[in-house]
Structure 1
């Protein structure tokens, strides 16, 4: 059975594909509890603008995603 399988992925990876009927959520009653996401970086150094921008993007993206579910 090519192109068939079951996987467990974060919803933000598959929300669009589920909405567009490219994927089917078959085990929604068995979804695991949410897990925290941690971002680690050296605290003794200055944070580069690129890393600061990444942190701000991830915080905003994950808060928005958490609020929509």
Structure 2
């Protein structure tokens, strides 16, 4: 199903739950993508989500090459 354009930036926020049917009792604290974003930011990179070729979500992480 992918991630709608309207919430693509919000999903990297701590505790954001785009699916109202999921709650703490059903699993997860909604911190995973926020942690990924913070680590990527520390490395001066970028992360985003787009539509995948097969219809789902495609997460892209870009990190600078500090070794060239």
TM score, norm. by length of structure 2? 0.30
- The structure with higher relative contact order (CA 8 Å, sep 6+) is 2
Q: Which has the larger helix fraction?
A: 1
Larger Rg: 1
